[in-house]
A and B are shown apart, each in its own frame.
Chain A
Amino acid sequence: MSTEVIKVTINGQDFQVPKGARLIDVCRDKAFDIPSFCYYADLALQASCRMCLVRIEKMPKLQTSCTIICTDGMVVTTQSDEIEKAQRSMLEFLLANHPLDCPVCDRGGECELQEMTFKWGNLEERFTEKKNYYPEKYLSPIVANDPQRCILCKRCTRVCDEWMGEDAIEAGNRGASTVIGTYGGWLNCSQCGNCIEVCPTGTLLDATYRHQARPWELTQTVSTCTYCSDGCQLSLGSRSDELVRIVARDRYVNGLNGEFLCIKGRFGHPFVNHEARLRTPLIRYKKGGKLIPATWDEAVRHVAEKLDSVVDQHGRDALGVVGSPRITNEANYLLYKFATELVGTKNYAVSDANSLKAFFENLGAPLATHRDIRYAATIVLIGGEPEELQPLTGKQIRQAVRNGGAKLIVINSAPIRLVEQAAQFVHIRKGAESAAVLALADDSADELAGAKLGVDGSALQTLRQTINETQGDLIIMFAADLSAAAQTTIGQLPAALRADNRRILFHPLPLYNNSFGAHDMGLTKGAMTTSQMLDAAGGAIRALYVAGSLLPQDLGGRETALEKLDFLVVQELFETDTTMFADVVLPAASFAEVDGTFTNNDGFVQRVRQSIAPVHQAKADWIITAELATELGSDFGFAMSASAVFREISERVPAYSGLKYPLLKDESSPVQAKYTVSEGGNSAQALAALREEVQALPNDSEKSDVTPPVGNKLFEIGTLTGKVPQFHLLAEGNPRPETVRISPLYQIAGLSK
């Protein structure tokens, strides 16, 4: 939008507005309320609900303000008898065939149709004819559908297409018989539930929350998602001490994701109140014995004694401390403090699949925000599959291309779904991503890079040409499994790519909600990685203190390592592969039960807020660490206040300096950590190292020609998603039940638990 200002007159008042502004937005901004259903920012215009009609001088008919771009001198009326009649009549039309069953509708109380009717509608009903009737049904284990409530605003079909690129639901039939649905009546998609979220009525419904609660019974708590590194903002709906649902509805929360969430964020929460949650601390008094319930006092004392004795016998470095990319900054920080200040061990780490240490040490440009992605000019995506692993990033990329005309370059060994949006797809061999980085950094290495990538030089030239022609934001994204040498070179790229009218931004794609934070808190600075510690188990490492569980990437192939430890203490929500060998298991509180912060892949430090009291006897991870410290004779002094922990973080972690909770209060303007951007180290040396690594790559590894199907990662059963019955149905291929009238959960036996 330009900075030029024009004059419009609304209801007799003059306003200066930016040229290119949309009339409906302007009116609302100036506090002239305009009703609408189909208008939705940044989706294709529809102008079908006809709610937003206004009168514009010199135009023959009433005009839809959602489609009008203001022009200089425009004279607009938004309030008059004629307009009120039009608004009333549209609502009357919409309600004609509506079942008016608000008392039994899950949306009652937060339904836009209901609210509009109260505000703009006619209270007398003149429609006395028979209503068209469609039965209620299920579209999938996740999405329930009551077609008769539909007002055909088509927000759902547009988000499905424009946000998700899936086009899984569409309008069928014509005229008054038009319905939203799918071929065959069954919805095979990523089950993100965004269609449910944007539905202004009770037509598309959260099948996992059906008839569970009325919205007004729920307490809404704004928080940050606990799944991937995109850090979506969401609203936890709780009743008493139960987490009932998660939404991103803009009436409750306005984060970087708008109303977008993926299946995990929106439906992956039932683990919180799951019956398998650990109830008390557990102690295994004898190796090979059983875990036996204990009191907190007893357990903490037991752990302190054992850790003391390991350190006494084998020295400080024999105790390893392992944090988690899933727990809060506060919790990770305290583990770091525990390891470095209290124990004094040099062995501390985080159990993350990948490390971004090398990248951060060479960071040559700022991090992109999700908003930057939406308005990027060029996006280079190296490896990864954001549509499955960082779905919000996937959506932003898609919209950047579709709505913003951005150029997307996908460099991948498989034709991932985003290739559909790509201006160029560089189809490389499996595991050859570092060769692509080499090609970006050094155009004299095309022969080597091309051979390893399995692409010809012209493709690499095209790639560099697109980059060199970029005006505006150039965003470099990469999967976090990139090698350290490649990360180093990527970090240093901006020095070479800088140009006038071009801003270079990075968007790394780690896997977990707090991969960034665990790094920022210092846990990646330890002498050994988690895997190395496991390899040293029983040797240099005699005891481990683990928050959360070890990831399969660390544990895989090292199953016996944990048995070799003298002592293992684990903080967990559930019994897992890691707790199987633990000597003490301490029940930790989930994200819904704690206060704190997560740092997402934009570098945004976002609040996690307590929605319900800790389940059973669980405690926040950081509190457990603090209590252990106290027992070991060192009071960290944070009392019971997460904000006190964060205050210390902001004093000690440079990127977080100056931050405090009150500054992080407003989720709609998130605050980015201030990472040090430097021109980086010796690039020639880094490049040489990278070249060496690339030379060692095989010349013949394969490429995959198959587009990975929707859900290949999203539906994976993990410790948390495994607690959600619907995920099991999806992981089994989303079978269509005998009838769509009854929840598939009740029909497909054996799979649902």
Chain B
Amino acid sequence: MSQQLTQIGPLSQPVDIADAASFSAEVEKEIDAHLAKYPVKRSAILPLMFVVQRERGYLDPPGVAYLAQRLGLRITDIWEVATFYSMLNTKPVGKYHIQICKTLSCKIMGEAKITEHVCQRLGIKPGETTADGKFTVSLVECLGSCGTAPMFQVGFDYHENLTPEKVDQILDSLP
């Protein structure tokens, strides 16, 4: 049999380890508050990653360098954690990240119709970002909204019991 290959995206981005990012005093305070919760600094890695991701859009090289410095870790430590969790982005995503739940309850309650509608409206496929960088659409696993299926999350906001009309309203309301 000839070798059949499915290419998996190269994992390591060709980046040089950049100068560390810096943040406002307010953000630094937030970070200090997270760090204060734990006896071990490293424990704050996920909360801090969310802060960096919020501030910088994704875990970009300066953000990663910042995390390593702030947590006293090696760059590899940041990388191994960042790539494990599906909510952490090591590549840029759109301003609005539409995450449509595709797991069983949503699936049987009409996820396909919602996905089709969203994709048609935005002109992209799941996994893609609109050219203007405004929207990214992803299919994700169960978000704990099975009783209110189908649903999606835009960023952290839950939108449930979706219908195509409701989707239009939601998307129209995004600035």
Which of A's residues lie within 8 Å of B, judged by CB?
99, 128-135, 167-174, 177, 179, 181-186, 736, 740
Contacts and interface: CB of A to CB of B under 8 A. Distances in A.
28 contacts: A99-B3, A129-B4, A130-B4, A130-B5, A131-B3, A131-B6, A133-B5, A134-B10, A134-B11, A135-B10, A167-B74, A167-B76, A170-B77, A170-B79, A172-B11, A174-B85, A174-B86, A177-B8, A181-B11, A182-B12, A183-B15, A183-B17, A183-B75, A184-B14, A184-B16, A184-B75, A185-B10, A185-B14
Contacts of A129: 4
B174 interface: no
Contacts of A740: 14
Interface string B54-87: 0000000100100000000011111110011110
Contacts of B83: 172-174
Nearest to B73: A167
A194 to B, nearest CB: 16
B1 interface: yes
Contacts of A167: 74, 76-77
A172 B6 contact: no
Interface in B1-34: 1, 3-8, 10-17
Which 9 pairs, one residue from A and one from B, show the smallest C-beta to C-beta distance?
A185-B12, A183-B79, A133-B5, A170-B80, A172-B83, A130-B4, A170-B76, A130-B6, A183-B75
A580 to B, nearest CB: 41
B13 A184 contact: yes
Interface in B74-104: 74-80, 83-86
A468 B6 CA distance: 62
User: Among A99, A128, A179, which residue has the most Cβ atoms of chain B within 10 A?
Assistant: A179
Given A170-B80, A184-B15, A132 B8 contact: yes
A394 B96 CA distance: 50
B19 to A, nearest CB: 14
A740 B13 CA distance: 11
Contacts of B84: 172-174
A671 to B, nearest CB: 40
A129 B15 CA distance: 33
Given A128-B1, A131-B3, A183 B8 contact: no
Contacts of B14: 184-185, 736, 740
B2 to A, nearest CB: 11
A184 B5 contact: no
Contact of B12 (A99, A132, A133, A183): A183
Contact of A133 (B6, B11, B17, B78): B6
Interface of B: 1, 3-8, 10-17, 61, 64, 74-80, 83-86
B80 A184 contact: no
A130 B83 CA distance: 24
Contacts of B6: 130-133
A99 B1 CA distance: 12
A185 B13 contact: yes
A681 to B, nearest CB: 48
Nearest to B61: A184
Contacts of B1: 128
Given A128-B1, A132-B6, A174-B84, A184 B74 contact: no
A189 to B, nearest CB: 9
User: Among B14, B17, B80, B85, which residue has the most Cβ atoms of chain A within 10 A?
Assistant: B80
A274 B83 CA distance: 43
A130 B7 CA distance: 10
Contacts of A177: 8, 11
B86 to A, nearest CB: 8
A130 B13 CA distance: 25
A184 B4 contact: no
A128 B61 CA distance: 39
Given A134-B10, A183-B12, 14 more contacts: A130-B5, A130-B6, A131-B6, A170-B79, A172-B80, A172-B83, A172-B84, A174-B85, A182-B12, A183-B15, A183-B78, A183-B79, A184-B15, A736-B14
A735 B158 CA distance: 46
Contacts of B5: 130-131, 133
A134 B10 CA distance: 7
Nearest to B1: A128
Given A168-B76, A172-B80, A172-B83, A183 B3 contact: no
Contacts of B86: 174
A192 to B, nearest CB: 16
B16 A736 contact: yes
Contacts of A182: 12, 75-76, 79
A58 to B, nearest CB: 36
B7 A183 contact: no
A131 B7 CA distance: 8
Contact of A184 (B17, B77, B85): B17
Nearest to A186: B12
A100 to B, nearest CB: 8
A686 B136 CA distance: 76
Given A170-B76, A183-B75, A183-B78, A133 B16 contact: no
A179 B11 contact: yes
Contacts of A184: 12-17, 61, 75
A131 B3 CA distance: 8
B62 to A, nearest CB: 13
A174 B79 CA distance: 12
A171 B80 contact: yes
A171 B77 CA distance: 10
Contacts of A736: 14, 16
B98 to A, nearest CB: 22
Contacts of A172: 11-12, 79-80, 83-84
A169 B75 CA distance: 10
A149 B15 CA distance: 25
B13 A169 contact: no
Contacts of A173: 11, 83-84
B79 A134 contact: no
A173 B83 CA distance: 5
Contacts of A130: 4-6
Nearest to B14: A185
A183 B76 contact: yes
A131 B80 CA distance: 24
A181 B12 contact: yes
Contacts of A174: 83-86
A167 B79 CA distance: 12
A181 B80 CA distance: 9
Contacts of B80: 170-172
A494 to B, nearest CB: 38
Contacts of A135: 7, 10
Contacts of A171: 80
User: Among A128, A129, A182, which residue has the most Cβ atoms of chain B within 10 A?
Assistant: A182
Contacts of A183: 12, 15, 17, 64, 75-76, 78-79
B11 A169 contact: no
User: Among B1, B11, B61, B64, which residue has the most Cβ atoms of chain A within 10 A?
Assistant: B11
Nearest to A100: B3
Contacts of A134: 7-8, 10-11
A179 B76 CA distance: 13
B30 to A, nearest CB: 25
B8 A131 contact: no
User: Among A130, A132, A172, A740, which residue has the most Cβ atoms of chain B within 10 A?
Assistant: A172
A169 B3 contact: no
A132 B14 CA distance: 21
A528 to B, nearest CB: 49
A718 B61 CA distance: 36
A183 B77 CA distance: 9
Contacts of B76: 167-170, 182-183
A168 B80 CA distance: 11
A172 B75 CA distance: 12
Nearest to B83: A172
A13 B7 CA distance: 50
